[in-house]
Amino acid sequence: MRVVLTGGGTGGHIYPAVAIARQCEAESANNAFLYIGSEKGLEARLVPQEGLPFESIDITGFRRKLSMDNVKTIMRFFKGVTRSKKLLTEFKPDVVIGTGGYVCGPVVYAAAKLGIPTMIHEQNAIPGLTNQFLSRYADTVAVSFKGSEGAFRKGKRVVYTGNPRATSVQSANRERGFASLGIPMNSKVVLITGGSRGASVINQAMIGMASRLEQLEDVHFVYVTGDIYFEKTREAVLQMLGTMPNRLHIVPYINNMPEVLAAASLIVNRAGASFLAEITSLGIPSILIPSPNVTNNHQEANARELEEAGACRMILEKELTEERLWKDITDIVQDPALQASMSRESKRLGKPDSAAVILKEIHRLTTRM
């Protein structure tokens, strides 16, 4: 099968696409892939690392207020459609799959106009602008959250599949996760991160908590700062404490996140949909700090799904302080019964077969078309 994947901007859009490719490979060795992304997006670095052929188009997203930049974006969109049609005609895919981000717009639109079977995958509880637009043209809309099917127009084929990233973490090697961090096997690990790019407000809370970490015996803390915040965060901790605590590990980025997640006892992060798919697949308790700077405040909607089930605690960014975060961490880490309950409810929400469900829909599409 010949598959074009597109999606970008954040790891939350990129890794589900990679997960779909891996599921295709697990079923059959007779596949060919092409990933089309933005030349300036994170996908330009991550996708080649995954061994997938990569081509780029020049595209930007719309601003939410009137701006001349939006006129330029429209021009880039149509140029992107032209470029996408050229790439698709040369590659001759059986199916085109978009996993989110504005780069999907011209690629999936071009595929639809060429009569190529198309699928878009919406990771969030509230659909983004690009997928709302593309749902008019795509043959199938796949959704991650059960109950969000109604967010798309009536008459459209909408399928609850879960997020394919959930499948990727199922085979993660826990032992390698500990080894990559330099942490003894079976230690308690609290992983704190702000997403693939990092988050300044979460980093500030991490810095503020650093002096308290020794209060929790036998617990290792892993701070994932994001590349641009790494040196600043590390230097702030050193300046405050004079030396780096033995059980504090500060890193800019984690390339083997599934393995590290498998080693974690508690996660603190944003509420991006792919991340939630990973932790619910593994059944990890979490403290979620939704980003308020996203379309339709969809991360808060994502987090509330877990909060209402008892799988997480949620802290709104405007309420985030080092004291509040430290209290929630200690409440969970020091209460085995609470941790077990949160883990159980998290696991109940997981859908580890999601990549297989998506592949089944791909087969339906390509056979029908």
Residue in this structure with the two tokens 């696991």, named with its chain if needed: 347
First-to-last CA distance in the chain? 14
Cα separation, 105 vs 77, in Å, equals 8
Cα separation, 184 vs 345, in Å, equals 27
Q: Exposed (0-12), middle (13-18) or buried (19+): which is 70, by Cβ within 10 Å? A: middle
| Alpha-carbon radius of gyration of the chain | 21
Contact criterion met (CB below 8 Å) for 97 and 3: yes
Q: Exposed (0-12), middle (13-18) or buried (19+): which is 363, by Cβ within 10 Å? A: middle
Q: Exposed (0-12), middle (13-18) or buried (19+): which is 359, by Cβ within 10 Å? A: buried
Cα separation, 359 vs 138, in Å, equals 16
**Where do the DSSP E strands lie in 39-157?**
54-57, 95-98, 118-122, 140-143
Contact criterion met (CB below 8 Å) for 293 and 316: no
What are the Cα distances from residue 219, in Å, to 213, 214, 335? 8, 8, 13
Binding-site sequence positions: 10-12, 124, 196, 254, 299
Binding-site sequence positions for UDP-N-acetyl-alpha-D-glucosamine: 10-12, 124, 196, 254, 299
Instruction: Pick the closest to residue 295 from 133, 173, 154 (CA basis).
Output: 133
CA 289-291-292 angle, 5° bins:
120
* Chain centre to alpha carbon of residue 299: 11
**Both tokens of residue 30?**
């007779």
